Amino acid sequence: MTTYKTEFQRSIDQPESFWAEQAQRIPWFTPPRQILEYDEQGHARWYVDGELNICHAALDHHVEQGRGDQPAIYWDSPVTGSRRTLTYRELRDQVAQFAGALKGLGVAKGDRVVIYMPMVPEALVAMYACARLGAVHSVVFGGFAPHELAVRIDDAQPKVVVAASCGVEVDRVIPYKPNIDAAIEQSAHKPDACIYLQREGQAVELGERDHDWRALASRAEPADCVAVKGSDPLYVLYTSGTTGKPKGVVRDTGGYAVALHYSMEAIYDVAPGDVFFSASDVGWVVGHSYIVYAPLLRGCTTVVYEGKPVRTPDAGAFWRLVSQYRVKSFFTAPTAFRAIKKEDPDGKLLQQYDISCLKALFLAGERLDPPTFHWLDDLLEVPVIDHWWQTETGWPIAANLQGLEPMPTKAGSATVPVPGFNVQVLDREGQTAKPMEQGSVVIQQPMPPGCLVGIWGDPQRFHSAYMAAFPGYYLTGDGGYFDEEGYLFVMGRTDDVINIAGHRLSTGEMEEVVGAHPAVAECAVIGIHDALKGQVPVGLVIPKDGFDGDEVALEEALIALVRDRIGPFACFKQVLVVNRLPKTRSGKILRKLLRNIADGKEYGIPSTIDDPASLQDVHDAMIQRDVGAAHEARQV
């Protein structure tokens, strides 16, 4: 690891000179002189006096450098039977035109725009158009229910909402306008306008505040790029918090651009002209970083896929895309390959396609379980790379750096910290853990460029949630350990946010919904292991006195409530009615203990428990309803 060690150590010992060099590789209007400084809370801020525009760096710059006719986007939509290619010049022109439309509605530097769209090229156009004006976009996944959208509208206070008329799934069309209308009705903040991209098969009838995308853009004057400071916000992306109130992660512009450009070369080993495919959604951080911004900053072609890993039309969909578009580097979540493995366990569909172009497969979003790793490793002739990062960091914390120094892989490990991330594992006393000793995974300050710079509208929450537990360190919320060779193993969340097929969702938020039902006196929601999705939630409820005893009806009502308030992707499908929940004497529900029982692990009765018999009640209820592997759990 000679090359890696040299670069990593330089990034830790000399962060300013290291990141000053990386900053020279992207086009600035005014190059930064102040590389690193700290804000009033002691948090790192990068390139504060530099000026740039990320839309210019990702689009206009490449057109100016002669890449105007190179494909920027390959759009592939098996659910609609559509395909389209947009060159860098075509994309730049569409972005400039739509930015002009937003400008005509009064959107200016610093204003927020909520984007609620499926995986269509116009989603990228809308994001880049906001960036072109210096406006702050907040993309909300199209599957979110009205309540969740309303919460984000109230927090971000957008001037405009940009949406499509619908999303298209494998077997159904999902109208978006009813969700948006209901969300605006629920929210205290009212946007000035909504813009709708009319899609075939589901046109919407426009109301007073609504505009048709194409008609509005056709009348607009193309807008130029607005210079912003390196420290100015690019976007707000909401992630679940354990309190149930979503956290609006704020990403800066300059640090993010520099970090993404560096990662494309050092981690993913792609050069200008290469094709990069990330099978995610623009509503999640992977979509922001590795569908929208990073590939185009690097001068690559990005694949925008409106489909599923299976059923569009079969479990060979990803292999078709890799073969058809000559993808060099492919990135998705482990849950996608668990679904593929379930339908095509022997990988026979792969034999239909020539994927000799593929040089590496990257997986993240949740822990890559060893069985899935070994299945892929046996199936493919290229490195299968688990890497680890978060919505908050915006780019990988630990990886097997293919463009710097490829290393042997280890099942269950994300390999080594990426240059810039001084990763440590601390025990409960805040001391450095020994090799193979588990503890809290933290990142020593300064955080590298590209990481969150705050929580929208709540700077104190940023500090208390991430920086207060271990002063001088960012708390990732994950537990893990280093082995004797310096490989990092991340073992899972230490809080009550669960990971469902790569989507982080708060059990606290689900508990708020379940607990609001008039028949529920008390409840707990835990995440249990699921072979396909990684984790799924299970609810445990204590009914109020007077409950009529119809447990089936109550379960159906609670499932429908969570589906309506949070969305179907929460996978909330099982509720157990119990007489009591195991708690400490101070009243804290023993959620970890409940998870251990549901996952079939051995468990002991903690000394702090208030009512030991409550554990057996819950255990029996789980066995009766066949929850997880509860039948294998035993008391020790």
147-182: per-residue pLDDT in tens? Answer: 889 999 999 999 999 999 999 988 889 999 999 999
DSSP output for 502-550? TEEEEHHHHHHHHHTSTTEEEEEEEEEEETTTEEEEEEEEEEPTT----
Q: What does the pLDDT look like over 56-97, one tens digit per residue? A: 999 999 999 999 999 999 999 999 999 999 999 999 999 999
Q: For position 6, what pLDDT does the model report?
A: 97
Q: For position 242, what pLDDT does the model report?
A: 47
- For 160-316, strand residue ranges (E) read 160-164, 166-168, 173-175, 193-197, 210-212, 228-229, 233-239, 247-252, 275-278, 301-305
Is pTM beyond 0.85? Reply is yes
Cβ–Cβ under 8 Å, residues 35 and 271: no
The residue with greater pLDDT, 368 or 448, is 448
Bridge partners of residue 36, in order along the sequence:
46
Q: For position 143, what pLDDT does the model report?
A: 72
Give the model's confidence band at 560: pLDDT under 50 very low, under 70 low, under 90 confident, else very high: very high
Rounded Cα distance, 606 and 583, in Å: 10
For residue 585, pLDDT over 60 is answered with no
Handedness of CA 543, 546, 551, 552 (dihedral sign): negative
For residue 244, pLDDT over 60 is answered with no
For residue 369, pLDDT over 80 is answered with no
The residue with greater pLDDT, 459 or 45, is 45
- C-alpha distance from residue 611 to each of 360, 526, 544, 617 (Å): 52, 20, 19, 11
Determine the average pLDDT of the residues in 429-456.
95
Bridge partners of residue 115, in order along the sequence:
139, 162
> What integer best gives the mean pLDDT of the chain?
93
Cβ–Cβ under 8 Å, residues 535 and 498: yes
Bridge partners of residue 409, in order along the sequence:
none
Give the model's confidence band at 241: pLDDT under 50 very low, under 70 low, under 90 confident, else very high: low
Q: Give the residue from 225, 215, 277, 275 showing the smallest Cα distance to 253.
A: 225
Give the model's confidence band at 508: pLDDT under 50 very low, under 70 low, under 90 confident, else very high: confident
Q: For position 438, what pLDDT does the model report?
A: 87
Rounded Cα distance, 189 and 140, in Å: 16
For residue 489, pLDDT over 70 is answered with yes
Q: For position 589, what pLDDT does the model report?
A: 81
Rounded Cα distance, 270 and 254, in Å: 21
For residue 612, pLDDT over 90 is answered with no
The percentage of the chain sitting over the pLDDT mark of 70, rounded to a whole number, equals 97
Determine the average pLDDT of the residues in 403-425.
96
For residue 607, pLDDT over 70 is answered with no
Rounded Cα distance, 567 and 21, in Å: 44
Q: For position 246, what pLDDT does the model report?
A: 76
Determine the average pLDDT of the residues in 350-377.
92
Q: For position 510, what pLDDT does the model report?
A: 87
Which of 110-119, 331-340, 558-567 is predicted most confidently?
110-119
Give the model's confidence band at 569: pLDDT under 50 very low, under 70 low, under 90 confident, else very high: confident
Q: Give the residue from 426, 431, 534 showing the smallest Cα distance to 482.
A: 426
Q: Give the residue from 431, 428, 423, 429 showing the smallest Cα distance to 486.
A: 423
